[in-house]
Amino acid sequence: MQEIQWVLNQMPAGENPWLSLMTQENVEKVRAFHRSFPQYAPTPLRHLRGMAERLGLGGLYVKDESYRFGLNAFKVLGGSYAIARQIARQTGKPMEEMTFDYLSSPALKADFAPTTFFTATDGNHGRGVAWAARQLGQRAVVRMPKGTSQSRLENIRREGATVTIEDMNYDDCVRLAAKEAAETPGSVLMQDTAWPGYEEIPGWIMQGYGTMAQEADQQMAARPTHVFVQAGVGSLAGAVAGYFANRYPENPPKVVVVEASAAACHYLSACSLSGEIIKVEGELATMMAGLACGEPNPVSWAILRNHAAAFVSCPDWVAALGMRMLAAPCKEDTSVVSGESGAVGMGLVATMMTDDRYSDLRNALGLDETSHVLLFSTEGDTDPDHYRRIVWGGENE
């Protein structure tokens, strides 16, 4: 069985130009926008008391994003906010006027030319962009990488998008979407990763995720001591780390970045100790489709290299373990339907607390009976057949 690999953050502090994206003031504005949607409601925070006691923790809390806007994943928060920011820019109107009622009204058609939003996705981001575009009367074109399941493609197609599975990995799909957007009149690239010259929209997407972080923060009775958060390109991880660094500047929780071993670009970058980004190439074969990204977002990386406590590379069995544990937790706890990319944090925490092979990591992070751990289950069963094969059939044990 492939082992978990980890590294504590020993990189020298670097410039931190993007931390201000996630200030309390900015996140409040983002959440005001999301509250204008009739579909908006805070997703549940599950307090797994029995699981915490069994694992030797003071508290274990899981933010269940399977309830987000009926889309079974959190990503719509970023895409919807970024689209609204783009519309505000092109119409010259203040963001405060970008309510759902205005954005879905005939008035928008008079102010804003019909636009096609291009994006690449492993599943959830593309679905979120497609949903937001349809809600606001716009078009979406979505490119997906080799190996994407048909069910994830159909989820996006049902939102009215033009969507294809390409014979390339995720990072090459990003380049394809960017090229097509540049060559298509009346289009905008709506991507959740950045590169030199393309930072603003990814920053808006990260801000969109602030709604989820603030909800979780407000739903907890006290500050979490530890936050485990997944990273594909790292936009979510950077948003969460940035939120808590701004929220608790004197005593932030320890943020642990969790990746799939096949695409552990953040872990490898941290291992280099220089703070420079290291990319992972190839097919990035992992069942954690949402984390199969080999190139870190430099905007979020600038936050993570300064504010993450550790970076962990997890084989697929860690996610499978987390999926089963959340689906069938301790008797008194609420079950959480968590997909492959959503449950890896649960599998990691459980393994760290019960397997002495990882006692050094457990001790280095100070995880014990006084710890209050926050996890983000970022998706539900977005690929239902695969979910059942893992949870019911024992695949990837």
Q: Which residues are catalytic?
A: 75, 122
Looking at 220-295, list the stretches that DSSP marks H as alpha helix, in order from N- to C-terminal side: 235-247, 265-271
209 and 155 Cβ atoms separated by less than 8 Å? no
| Unique residue bearing structure tokens 């008797």 | 331
63 and 43 Cβ atoms separated by less than 8 Å? yes
18 and 193 Cβ atoms separated by less than 8 Å? no
- Residues with Cβ within 8 Å of 43's Cβ and at least 6 positions away in sequence, in order, are 63, 64, 65, 66, 67, 68, 74, 212, 215
Tokens, residue 212: 């989820």
Round to whole Å and give the CA distance between 169 and 30: 31
| Unique residue bearing structure tokens 């931190």 | 16
Tokens, residue 336: 């959480």
Tokens, residue 19: 């931390």
Of 251, 250, 268, residue with least CA distance to 259: 268
- Residues with Cβ within 8 Å of 89's Cβ and at least 6 positions away in sequence, in order, are none
383 and 149 Cβ atoms separated by less than 8 Å? yes
